[in-house]
Amino acid sequence: MIAWWLLALLGCADNGPDPDTVIGNLRVVSVVADPPEVAPGDDITVDIEVYDRQGGSIDVMGWFCTPLGGSALTGGCAEAGPTARPLSAFTVVATDAGLTTRGTFHVPEELAALVPGDGVADDLIRPVFWGLACRSGACPVIDAVRDDPAPGSASWSDVVTQLGRPTLWLPDVPLDDSSLATRFLMFTGAGDPYRATNPPLVAVSAPTAADAGEIVPFVFRSGDVIVYPFASDGGFLLASYGAANGLPVTLQWQAPKRSGPVDLVVVVEDQQGGSAVWRGTVTVR
C-alpha cells in the first residue's frame, strides 16, 4: 500500500538465484488441460503435474468444481449437476501417484446456460479445476472421494461441499504434506470456431551436467508465454522469463555448490489457460 522506507532499503536484492525458483517440498507445479478452452459437451483431458523433492508415497486428486455465486457457493460445484452426478464424473484420484496424474472429463451440457453472452453469465465463475497432492493419509478429503458415496447421499453432499470450498478443510491439512493448486479454464460456446490450444515447449538446449556453482544456460522455444522455471537445488536467476512468438528464450540456472542430481521443471503459461511442462535432470559434478 504505502511504501515504507526501511522496507524499501532492506529490500535490496543480491545477485544470486531467485529463491522462488527453488522447490523445497511437495508442489503441484501445473495443471495442463487439453484443450485449455472448452465448451459444454466437450471431453477434456487434464494432467496434474506434481513435483516432490522428498519422494515417497503421495496421493493426487483433481476435480472440476465451478462454484456458483451467492448462496449457491455453499451448495458445492456446478459440475455436480442439477441432479446429483457420481463423483467420478468430475474427479480423479490416484493413489501412490507418479509425477503426472491424468483425468478425463465430460463438460456438462447444462453449463451452456452459464456461457458468457447467453444472458446468465453473472453467476458464472469460470470453470475451475483443482489439483491436490498429499502425502498418503494426510488429506481426508481424498479418502472421502475415494469412498465414492452414492450420489445425492448426505456423504456425497458433504464431499461436494468440501470440493467447492477447500478453505474449509485445508487449514487442517499439514502445509508441508500437501499442495493445492487451482486453474481457471477458458469457457466458450459450442459454436465458437476458435479454440485455444496449449503452447508448444521445446528444449533447444538443455545441458545434463554442470560444475558446482556454474551458471548454465537453458534455451527453449514456445509461443507467447511466460516461462516459470523451478529447480530442486541451485536456482534460476530469475523467477520468470518472457517469451514471444517462438523465439528462443534463455534461462540461467546456477548449479548448487554440492554435487549430485538436480531436478528441473520448466512451465510455460500463455495466460489463456494454456500450459506446458518440461522436466529434466542435471548432474552437478
If binding is defined by CB under 8 A, does position 273 make contact with another protein? yes
If binding is defined by CB under 8 A, does position 25 make contact with another protein? yes
Give the residue among 82, 98, 78 at the shortest CA–CA distance from 90: 78
In DSSP notation, 87-149 reads GGGTEEEETT--SEEEEEEE--GGGGGGSTTSS-GGG----EEEEEEEETTS-HHHHHHHT-P
For another protein, the binding residue among 17, 27, 144, 234 (CB under 8 A) is 27
CB-based contact 185:207 (threshold 8 Å): no
Residues 230-249 that bind another protein (CB under 8 A): 239-240
| Cβ-based nearer residue to another protein, 149 or 197 | 197
| Cβ-based nearer residue to another protein, 23 or 262 | 23
If binding is defined by CB under 8 A, does position 119 make contact with another protein? no
- Report d(CA 62, CA 69) in Å as an integer: 22
Question: What is the biggest distance separating any 2 CA atoms in the chain, rounded to whole angstroms?
Answer: 61
If binding is defined by CB under 8 A, does position 55 make contact with another protein? no
If binding is defined by CB under 8 A, does position 46 make contact with another protein? no
- Over the window 89 to 118, marking each residue x when it contacts another protein by CB under 8 A and - when it does not, the resulting string is ------------------------------
Q: How far is the CB of 49 from another protein (least distance, A)?
A: 10
Cell of 281: 535432470
| Cβ-based nearer residue to another protein, 27 or 85 | 27
If binding is defined by CB under 8 A, does position 20 make contact with another protein? yes
| Cβ-based nearer residue to another protein, 134 or 210 | 134
Give the residue among 138, 173, 181, 177 at the shortest CA–CA distance from 277: 181
In DSSP notation, 15-72 reads SS--GGGB--SEEEEEEEEESSEE-TT-EEEEEEEEEESS-S-EEEEEEE--BPSGGG
- Over the window 160 to 199, marking each residue x when it contacts another protein by CB under 8 A and - when it does not, the resulting string is ------xx--xxxx-xx-xxxxxxx---------------
Strand pairing class (260-269; 249-254): unpaired
| Cβ-based nearer residue to another protein, 19 or 119 | 19
CB-based contact 129:46 (threshold 8 Å): yes
Residues that bind another protein (CB under 8 A): 1-10, 19-20, 23-25, 27-28, 30-31, 166-167, 170-173, 175-176, 178-184, 226, 228, 239-240, 269, 271, 273, 275
